[in-house]
Structure 1
Amino acid sequence: MVILKVGSSGDQVEQVQRFLADPARQLYSGAIDGMFGNGTRTAVIAFQTAAGLIADGIVGPLTWRLMFPSATAATTAATTAATTAATTAATTTATAGTPAVGQSLAWRCLSLTGSIETGLPVPGCFGGLSGNFDGQGISYGAIQWALGQGTLAPLFQKLCTQNADVVSAVFGTNAAVFTQTFTQASHADQMTWAIGIQTNNQVQEPWKTQFKTLGTKAECQALQIAMAQDRYNSALSLCRTYGLVSERAVALMFDIMVQNGGISGTVQAQIESDFAALGATADETPKLEIVARRRAAACNPKWENDVLSRKMMIAQGQGTVHGAKYDLAAQYGITLNRAEGL
């Protein structure tokens, strides 16, 4: 029976570290040394939280089976082949996305666009983290609010003032510094702090894992939904403009608001002309494809193909973007059913 916790060591600990450090998860960036320390524990908690387990930081039999579903503890630790099979199976599960049962359409739209923006499946997209490579200090969340632009600090400030218990649980001994930085420090000092926890524009441990864990919390996700509400409302307004009523239409318009900022009058006229020529259709898919093509064609030619593949995937309900496969109905519960409010 596998029981790994702080103080454990050996090949099985190293195997867990490699699993958590895999690019599909990015939960651990410490040394792969087979020593179960606080960094490994924090990463295990993040994995358990995302998987809906009791987040105690201990790798017991259930956590082990979820990490390595295609191998028993004995054979996995004993053979490299079994380790490879298990890791591949776990990666497939992680990148497949999570059904959004019971979540609002606003949450589902943000999680879809966030997954595309960050390259991380749900719930990892809500903890998407980028360093100072673009001079913004830190960018964070499903649609990468930036500290440098002043759009990220309000999220962290609200977490500190409204959800202090969550901040304390996630950041532990770092909670006081995090809270002081985002409730009392100036913007300049916030930028200095953000750069100070990075090496080569990469956020270092334990902050990296703590930020990713924060994104799995319902309170953090709810605040991100609230911060994206204006763009969601604009997406609903665009649907009304074009007479579109489906959940998939809202998802497409929301993605346009996030990635492209909207639809110009010139493009609107083109879309309406194409709609008129289309005539009656059985469902909205042909109309959504028109929106996708026309909005992509209005982009800088350098990015047109990228925008087109992204928008057509949403319009058609499935496809591949940046190497990741998407099925909107299965992964995000986004269908051609009529959206609430339309």
Structure 2
Amino acid sequence: MPKGLRYENDYLVGGPANAWITPNFRLSEYADADGKVFVHRELVAAVQVLRTLLGRGLDIASTAASDGLGEQIAGRFVWVRGDSPADIVATATRMIKDAWFARVEARGDRVCLEMPDPARLPPIAPESALDRAIAITAAFETSGDPYQQVTGNFDGAGLSFGPLQANLKTGTLQELFRRYQARDGTALQACFGTLWGEWQRLLRLPSRAQQVAWADSLSRGSGKADFDAGWKAALQSVGRVPALRAETLAYSYDTYGRKLIVTLAWLKGVRPIRITNFRCLAALYDLCVQQGGLDKAHDAIRRRIAAENPQNEFALTRIAVEERGRSASPEWRADCISRRLCILEREPVRVSEAGRNAERDNPSLYLLRNAPVTQIERYLA
């Protein structure tokens, strides 16, 4: 997210005109005829999600009420235009079930998109919340479709793949592909083509060190962050198979969703405040992925809760992520805390810890809806 954007009660009201406020839209595109901007951040997010789902150009046509639409709800609607109004209407209408939009109406070549009442945003389904949390965590390290991310041996992990960057060094990549094989072995083999035999040989190597060495020989580019083009294409094909993407989500649920439940249960035991807001849950999920949980900071969290007596889920979550971040290795403390606070606040937060500074940003912050998640504990239990 670019610096300088100005919000008032979650309405975007100003900033650098050419700033990208989401991956495909600049601030200036939401300006009215007088150059003023007044649009709710949830609507901006919904329009970006629509653009992503369409997979092709989408223009902001107007932010002015017309044709009997948009009256009395300034900032909560927008007119858009694209090469197929029918496709826009169909896709946006499907998004209503996830509460991205409340109303979708076509008028000629334009489509009016209206968001739900921001004072009463509908809750997010847990499956959708987990998928978004995965995307947000992945966006700290990768760009583009997180399910197609392939990273070489720049960090000693050999080969890393997917939104969670499962890798050979930890054995998580091997486990993920065992699950893929069980889910749809035929589709998996088709992704590799003539490379399938070599891939099977890799997975049968007797040690992870040998597997990492294999990946190192195929790592390319500056610092070995990229990977051999042929192998990269095969792995990206895996990331495009719907059944295997679903298995990635299931793996994330099994591995990190359960850690999140342990984290939520422990916090509730220390301070009986129920954590349901997606921003809080996404911050804690990111913590579970990167740091495994709160165990190493239990005593520090207890002391701070006793001293500060937090009254809401945001204050409680902030204590948890800050104290767990401070228990990391000194060189990573600022980074850990800044990353989690970036999620919690939906903007970069500068942090200084142990003589180091960090101000992490994330291109997927627009996915952080300020809404509760329904029955998250039951879903992950």
Task: Normalising by structure 2, report the TM-score.
Answer: 0.54
Counterpart residue identity of residue 262, structure 1? G
**1:297 paired to 2:360:** no
8 Å Cα contact 1:245-1:339 kept in structure 2: no
- Are 2:168 and 2:212, in contact at CA under 8 Å, matched by a contact in 1? yes
Structure 2 letter corresponding to 1:258? V
The answer on whether the counterparts of 1:147 and 1:153 sit within 8 Å (CA) in structure 2 is: yes
Q: Per chain length, whose mean CA-contact separation is higher, i.e. which structure has more relative contact order (CA < 8 Å, sep 6+)?
A: 1
Q: Does the alignment pair 1:331 with 2:367?
A: yes
Q: Alpha carbons of 1:338 and 1:272: their partners in 2 closer, same or farther (altered >3 Å)?
A: farther
Q: Report deviation, 1:337.
A: 4.2
Q: Which protein has the bigger helix share?
A: 1
**Match for residue 120 of structure 1?**
143
DSSP 3-state at the match of 1:215: helix
Counterpart of 2:330 in 1: which secondary structure? coil
- Structure 1 residue 225, shift from structure 2 partner: 2.8
**Higher strand fraction: Structure 1 or Structure 2?**
2
Give 1:233 shift. Answer: 0.9
CA shift for structure 1 position 259: 1.2
Which residue of the other structure, out of 245, 249, 252, is the alignment partner of 2:283?
A: 252
SS at match of 2:347: strand
Counterparts of 1:299 and 1:149, CA distance in 2: 19
CA RMSD of aligned residues (A): 3.5
Describe the shift of the 1:304–1:134 C-alpha distance in structure 2 as closer, same or farther (beyond 3 A).
closer
CA drift of 1:170 comes to 3.0
Residue of structure 1 in register with 2:178 after alignment: 157
Q: How does 1:83-122 map to 2 (within 5 A)?
A: 101=98, 103-116=127-140, 118-121=141-144
Q: Deviations over 1:9-63 (max 9, x none)?
A: xxxxxxxxxxxxxxx9xxxxxxxxxxxxxxxxxxxxxxxxx9667xxxxxxxxx7
Distance 1:198 1:164 in 2: 26
Is this contact kept in 1: 2:139–2:362, CA < 8 A? no
Contact 1:113 1:255 in 2 (8 A): yes
Tell me which amino acid in the other structure corresponds to 1:256: L
1:225 corresponding residue in structure 2: 249
Q: TM-score, normalised by structure 1?
A: 0.59
Q: Aligned residue for 1:234?
A: 259
| 1:242/1:272 contact within 8 Å kept | no
Matched residue SS, 1:120: coil
Aligned partners of 2:148 and 2:240 also within 8 Å: yes
Whether 1:319 and 2:347 are equivalent positions in the alignment is yes
SS at match of 1:137: coil
Matches of 1:144 and 1:253 in 2, distance apart?
A: 18
**Counterpart AA for 1:119:** T
Asked whether the equivalents of residues 160 and 179 of structure 1 are also in contact (C-alpha less than 8 Å), the reply is: no
Stretches of structure 2 that go unaligned for 5 or more consecutive residues are 1-22, 24-50, 60-94, 99-124, 269-273, 349-358
* Partner SS state of residue 171, structure 2: coil
* Equivalent residue number for residue 8 of structure 1: none
- Give the deviation of 1:295 after TM superposition: 1.8
Cα distance, 1:239 vs. partner? 0.9
Kept in 2, the 8 Å contact 1:270–1:294? The answer is yes
Q: Percent of pairs identical after alignment?
A: 21
Cα 1:319–1:333 shift into 2, 3 Å: same
Distance in 2, Cα, partners of 1:189 & 1:264? 32
Q: How many residues get paired?
A: 246
